[in-house]
Amino acid sequence: MKGNHKGQMLFFSVSSLLLVVFLLIGFGVIEFDSKDPATADSVIQDPVFVLETSLDNQIYSVGLSDNEYTESEQENIRIYEALNKAVVNITTEKLSLNWFLEPVPTDGGTGSGSIIDKKGYVLTNYHVVKDTYKLYINLFDGSQFEGEVIGQDSENDLAVVQFDPDGFDLTTISFGNSETLKVGQKVLAIGNPFGYDRTLTTGIVSGLSRPVRTSRNLVIQGMIQTDASINPGNSGGPLLDSHGRMIGINTMIYTPSGGSVGIGFAVPVDTAKRIVPDLISYGHVNRGWIDIYPVQLEPNIVRYGKLAVSKGILVSRLDSGSNAAAAGIRGGDLNKPVQYGRSVIYFGGDIIVNIDGLEVNSLEDLFSALEDNKPGESVEVKLIRGKKNITTTVILTERPEELLAE
């Protein structure tokens, strides 16, 4: 009986060992290589990995090759390789006072910009170059050129700077069209977030025609909303469509934390196309104006003047022969001046409440309503005169230089 027991034990041990060996071979732990060296080398040079996953009892196999890219990836790569050299890093210096009240240069921060002309014109944001003492244009290869601001427009947060390329063959980005954009359309952003040069991010158009109020309390109309990651340092960089055309200028983000949360805004390129020629030629944008001396309504003014409305622009006075007078707009009673702080107000004038369909509740609204109008163009103006509603048409003149919203 003991002999039979030993035999049984030996049989089970050998069987168990053989079973383990077969299982190891089956799972590929032990492998007999029958390939010749040439075949093995070809596999190493062109590996193909097969990813298998189980979902709802079905097997899905996806072939991935390290020399193959999806159509979307190829598009991203093609656009980046073609245009990243046209995106510059802008660094600035500003003047500040030291302990002895002497002006000294200090770091002014960084931003991005797009080369739009081989003569060295760069489109960027106004807030990137505002109040700069010196600015430098840094190219993709590390070359650095000193530049200068040749035109700026705070009302659209855009500026044009120029540097001398000194024979350098510059890559440029062409303007596209922002009027035909659709929500859901793919977009790409190239910039220098947190100093990381020419970073590419992708996303979609999340919204269109967004009115966005800037830190200067001006409203930029028609902004493009995108979920492409935009962070500090991206400002001034291009927002591109899937053909590599600039459709916007990345400007700001909505953030409760200081970082991107997927809500970014870009100035539409159609705005840039409209104002860039003026910025290059004049240094500012020639905009139309209604020749009045405006006063923004405030609770104390409304209460003192017993006005019928609480928001709008009071026409304190106007000059005879002005475009406002020609349109029938009335100013206040010059015989009854009222001291208000450091200003003098004349009550009794019309109150402007709407221009070309845009509500005018403040001076900033007045600037915004006339932002895209040139001298010689006409606008429809709605007024409150006493308790009457009046509509008139004003032919605009050129905005005085002292009223440029800097």
Catalytic residues: 127, 157, 235
Helices (H), 156-212: none
How far is it, in rounded angstroms, from Cα 248 to Cα 188? 10
Tokens of 375: 């001298």
Taking a C-beta distance cutoff of 8 angstroms, is the pair 140, 84 a contact?
A: yes
Identify the bridge partners of residue 213 per DSSP, sorted by sequence position: 219
Of 144, 99, 258, residue with least CA distance to 194: 258
Q: How many helices (H) and strands (E) would you count in the chain? A: 8, 24
Concatenate the DSSP letters of all residues of 2-14 into one string: HHHHHHHHHHHHH
d(CA 374, CA 281): 15
CA distance 65 to 50: 9
- Tokens matching residue 337: 């001046």
- Answer yes or no: are the C-beta atoms of 219 and 360 closer than 8 Å: no
With contact defined as beta carbons under 8 Å apart, do 373 and 380 qualify? no
Question: What Cα–Cα distance (Å) separates residue 83 from each residue in 68, 125, 161, 205, 270?
Answer: 22, 19, 19, 20, 20
Q: How far apart are CA 137 and CA 129, in angstroms?
A: 11
Q: DSSP states of 130-158 as a string?
A: TT-SEEEEE-TTS-EEEEEEEEEETTTTE
Q: What are phi and psi of 324, to 5 degrees?
A: -65, -45
| SS3 of residue 79 by DSSP | helix
